A and B are shown apart, each in its own frame.
Chain A
Amino acid sequence: MIDTVQNAEKTPDDEQPYAELGLKDDEYARIRDILGRRPTTAELAMYSVMWSEHCSYKSSKVHLRRFGDLPTSDALLVGIGENAGVVDVGDGYAVTFKVESHNHPSYVEPYQGAATGVGGIVRDILTMGARPIAVMDSLRFGRADAPDTARVLPGVVAGVGGYGNCLGLPNIGGELLFDECYTGNPLVNALCVGVMKHEDVHLAKAEGAGNKVILFGARTGGDGIGGVSVLASETFDAEGPAKRPAVQVGDPFTEKLLIEACLELFAQDLVTGIQDLGGAGLSCATSELASAGTGGMHVDLDAVPLRDSTLTPAEILMSESQERMCAIVEPGKVEQFLAVCRKWDVRAAVIGEVTDGDRLTVDWHGERIVDVPPRTVAHEGPVYERPMARPADLDALQADDPARLPRPTTPAELQAHWLAVVSSPDGADKSWVTEQYDRYVRGNTVLAQPEDAGVVRIDEQSNRGIALSLDGNARFARLDPYTGAQLNLAEAYRNVAATGAKPLAVTNCLNFGSPENPEVMWQFAEAVRGLADGCRALGLPVTGGNVSLYNQTGDVAINPTPVIGVLGVHEDVRTRVPAGWRTAGETVLLLGETRPDFGGSAWASVVHGHLGGRPPALDLAAERTLADLLAALAKQGLVSSAHDLADGGLAQALTESALRYGTGARLALPGDAFTALFSESTARVVVTTADPGGVKLAAEWAGVPVTELGTTGGDALAVEGLPELPLAELRAAWTATLPALFGGPEHSTPLTVPAGAVPTS
């Protein structure tokens, strides 16, 4: 028996399972208020998913407004609120980029959780009218040697790779970091970037009464039902039932066809409005399209192609089956639209039309099961001003200064700490992961991991391109979320600038614990305030973002983890600056000033298991000056490498630059060697140059401090006062860590195949 609108009017007192669907008492009461009756089962399903934390941003909205208050930027073509922001990168090109979390599903089912995380963000980019051109991933796991990390990490990496590789999108970089706090709450943040011409921007709105609503892509199944409300918006409970059925299953092949079909539909101008189906599935797509449009919408739900004929209407509305899109199409273009879909073997069905009214109505075999004002579903959900409180332990944490930690006293000890930092899971070579990703496909990848930023050419004639970096140091954010968020912004900004690009716009993925915990809410609010202030200081707009809350198991929240993405533009990617040393005989220069900044440092964490004190001092004016200088140096071809200093300080940067192409250096460190090697002072970059005079002059003009460190060459890092460090030894330490933890079978015994088992001609 289907619960129709008529039935709901007649049976106002029927008990409804709103609590099980994640709605609070007052939220349910408000739905009844809006409708003037109890919701039908299908309506309840729609409201429950759309009013979930994941879709409604009900706890974060009041804070995120700060991003909207930033000064307008000429570069911003489409801002927050659409599927992804769009930025003008010159020559008529527009770039759209966004990072999104798929944390909870990836814990429950690592491969599919991560894979569909990539799939979802790619559809967001596609929805804007852009061809997706690259992906990145920012990953966090519990201790590298924890048993659960061995379960989750390989699956997540394989899932990110499996989906992205099959879509033909190069993976150009990201992060992989470990911390106890992510045990049980790994973070999987996926970024996608797409490119289009200005005139090709598409928006998610349903306009023009009589226009058809077409659902296309994969058929709808029972996977991912309630994913956003059950998984993403609740704290994991050790006692709870298995949540695997709420994780979606991905099919990247279908998504690849969907991408090509959509781009052809856009090119032939067959689409009026378009929305992807992600979290909250059809509930989200229909209500958001209708809410953003001018009229109403009617949907015949029985027209939706199904994978499982036993699904109820409510389940169809909530299903998060992947690889689906919803388009608004003029009646005269429907045939052409369907023909393009047929060419790409993409299933498409007309499921409804745009109406004159202001209601979203849904019928199931002729009976009305949904009749709601779409704005109340999509855009007028609950908004909470959650209570906030500065974490009770923060004063003690900040007072616990790393100055008290024992420092290495002998040259041998200094070197041992150096090796410990660069061979720690956070500092070690990430090839074990990145070799599982295709970085070459499409042939435009100019720089990819392990470079500071990914750089992609977007025009083969003009050589215009973009640079992207994702950074999210959670230790800094734990010590001071306001400064920590800005430090992450500064690092991503610096990484993009190190390649010679001009930073242009910011996106973010804000991963925090439960908003119902006032201390978490305070961390969140502080991080948002920090990021907004940082963007204002750097003159960059926030183009959009994603909030992931409830990243906690029981009472223990993750460290606040604001992952910040910065997009930059290269007028000519041929002038990009890589991070590795190739040539002997070049001068190694340190740009920027080193202070004793050890709070939240990799050294304190790796050597002493310590987190305390204050994060490094932030100087956004210095970052800006440095970025301008780096762009000028790149343009003039004055530097042949540039590498940002961040986690692990100079020790980490020297290691990575030397090992990239196997070129060593003879160096003398200024001042105290310990501080020189391990401080994480900001606004610093190491460059190499054949023209030290020219670089010094440019730096002095810009007001950037320069320190000459030495000369490249040889097959060791020979630092004055320290034992010489042969690159072979350094490489062995740096590369061994991840394979030792997660397995690295280089060869296995050749497969023996019985004669005749394999066709040979």
Chain B
Amino acid sequence: MRIGVITFPGSLDDVDAARAVRLAGGDPVALWHGDHDLKDVDAVVLPGGFSYGDYLRAGAIAARSPLMQDVVSAAKQGLPVLGICNGFQVLCEAGLLPGALTRNSHLHFRNRDQLLRVERTDTAWTSDYADGQEILIPVKNGEGRYVGSDADLDRLEGENRVVFRYVGGNPNGSSRDIAGVTSENGRVVGLMPHPEHAVEDLTGPSTDGLGFFTSVLKAVVNA
């Protein structure tokens, strides 16, 4: 199973995402932002980092890279796409996911081990979790505050598109404790916390993040 990991200028957690794919049993495939080439991958991960230094708005420039045009059209055909942190920001900027990420309410970059509640287990990236399961994975961002208008957030919740919520403290002031959301068809998922940093006992606070990557391998087989 080929899972692409995109490197934009300023991507940082691309090596981590590739490792997570490998540990889950998939084959990570490096994708380059400047190429119009998805290399026949079965799913795509947009990793964390500071693409283009977060200049203009976090994710705004990367969202307009050549490869993202291919990602957008493939996602609309059902290609599973996961955006982690900066990748989530890119997906919002590219219009694949609703909402926006703004500066944390306390204005600091914050890195801590965070509890999340899994609200949806029928997306391409969360089928290996149990409904309502609480998972512990790192969060680390300066611009991770998920915002939307009340009306838009009501609609989002009405459509059951919140995939993860922060539990035991909201690290960045996100509206309604929203940590991650999904597309209408459940194939595109974005979240601020970092599942790829919770895949080994040696280096992570847990191995709770592996489920993202084992889930997508099944989603691809079943597609």
Q: Which A residues contact B (CB, under 8 angstroms)?
A: 158, 161-162, 165-168, 251-254, 256-257, 344-345, 431, 434-446, 457, 460, 463, 573-574, 744-748, 750-761
Contacts and interface: CB of A to CB of B under 8 A. Distances in A.
Given A443-B197, A757-B149, A435 B53 contact: no
Given A257-B9, A440-B140, A758 B55 contact: no
Given A166-B10, A256-B10, A760-B99, A753 B149 contact: yes
A757 B173 CA distance: 18
A748 B174 CA distance: 10
B152 A755 contact: yes
Nearest to A168: B12
A256 B86 CA distance: 16
Contacts of B49: 168
A760 B155 contact: yes
Nearest to A165: B109
Interface string B8-24: 01101101100100000
Contacts of A254: 53
Nearest to A443: B16
27 contacts: A161-B109, A166-B12, A166-B50, A168-B12, A253-B9, A253-B50, A253-B52, A256-B9, A256-B53, A257-B9, A434-B111, A436-B108, A440-B138, A442-B12, A443-B19, A443-B200, A444-B203, A457-B203, A747-B170, A748-B173, A750-B176, A751-B105, A751-B147, A753-B147, A753-B149, A760-B155, A761-B98
B167 interface: no
Given A745-B105, A759-B95, A751 B149 contact: no
A437 B111 contact: yes
A106 B150 CA distance: 43
Contact of A435 (B54, B95, B111, B200): B111
Contacts of B108: 158, 435-436
Of all A-B residue pairs in the complex, the 8 with the closest CB atoms, nearest first, are: A253-B53, A168-B12, A755-B149, A760-B98, A760-B152, A443-B16, A440-B197, A748-B105
The residue in A168, A457, A573, A747 that gathers the most chain B C-beta atoms within 10 A of its C-beta is A168
A207 B15 CA distance: 35
B78 interface: no
Interface in B8-43: 9-10, 12-13, 15-16, 19
A15 B202 CA distance: 65
Contacts of B119: none
A446 B150 CA distance: 42
Interface string B171-206: 001011000000000000000001011011011100
B12 A758 contact: no
B156 interface: yes
Interface of B: 9-10, 12-13, 15-16, 19, 48-50, 52-55, 92, 95, 98-100, 102, 105-106, 108-112, 138, 140, 142, 145, 147-152, 155-156, 169-170, 173, 175-176, 194, 196-197, 199-200, 202-204
Contacts of A750: 173, 175-176
A443 B203 contact: yes
A754 B151 CA distance: 9
A501 to B, nearest CB: 15
B58 to A, nearest CB: 11
Given A441-B16, A442-B16, A751-B175, A257 B111 contact: no
B53 A251 contact: yes
Nearest to A743: B106
B203 A446 contact: yes
A747 B108 CA distance: 12
B99 A758 contact: yes
B10 A253 contact: yes
B117 to A, nearest CB: 18
A751 B52 contact: no
Contacts of A168: 12-13, 49
Contacts of A752: 150
Contacts of B92: 759
A436 B19 CA distance: 25
Given A252-B53, A573-B202, A435 B152 contact: no
A442 B15 contact: yes
A444 B203 CA distance: 6
A445 B95 contact: no
Contacts of B170: 747
B9 A344 contact: yes
Interface hub of A460, A757, A759, A760 (most chain B Cβ within 10 A): A760
B152 A441 contact: no
Contact of B112 (A253, A435, A760): A435
- Chain A interface helix/strand/loop/mixed: loop
Nearest to A251: B53
A230 B99 CA distance: 49
A752 B173 CA distance: 11
A445 B200 CA distance: 11
A740 to B, nearest CB: 15
Contacts of B110: 435-436
A344 B33 CA distance: 11
Given A166-B50, A758-B152, 11 more contacts: A162-B109, A165-B140, A166-B12, A256-B53, A441-B16, A457-B202, A744-B106, A746-B106, A751-B145, A753-B148, A755-B152
B9 A574 contact: no
Contact of B149 (A345, A434, A744, A758): A758
Contacts of A442: 12, 15-16
Contacts of A158: 108-109
Interface centre among B52, B111, B140 (most CB of A within 10 A): B111
Contacts of B99: 758, 760
Contacts of B151: 755
Contacts of B52: 253
A441 B13 contact: yes
A760 B92 CA distance: 8
A756 B48 CA distance: 27
Nearest to A434: B111
A438 B99 CA distance: 25
A759 B10 contact: no
Contacts of B109: 158, 161-162, 165, 435-438
A434 B49 CA distance: 18
Contacts of B102: 751
A463 B202 CA distance: 10
Given A252-B53, A435-B111, A435-B112, A445 B203 contact: yes
A753 B175 CA distance: 10
B12 A441 contact: yes
A692 to B, nearest CB: 26
A446 to B, nearest CB: 6
B10 A574 contact: no
Contacts of A748: 105-106, 173
A262 B158 CA distance: 50
B182 to A, nearest CB: 12
B52 to A, nearest CB: 7
B110 to A, nearest CB: 5
B26 to A, nearest CB: 16
A431 B19 CA distance: 28
A476 to B, nearest CB: 32
Given A748-B106, A750-B175, A758-B152, A166 B53 contact: yes
Given A746-B106, A760-B152, A440 B173 contact: no
A751 B9 CA distance: 31
Nearest to B196: A443
A434 B9 CA distance: 26
Contacts of B150: 752, 755
Contacts of A253: 9-10, 50, 52-55
Contacts of A757: 149
A597 B175 CA distance: 53
A417 B221 CA distance: 63
Contacts of B53: 166, 251-254, 256
Interface centre among A254, A437, A441, A444 (most CB of B within 10 A): A441
A747 B110 CA distance: 13
B223 to A, nearest CB: 23
A438 B15 contact: no
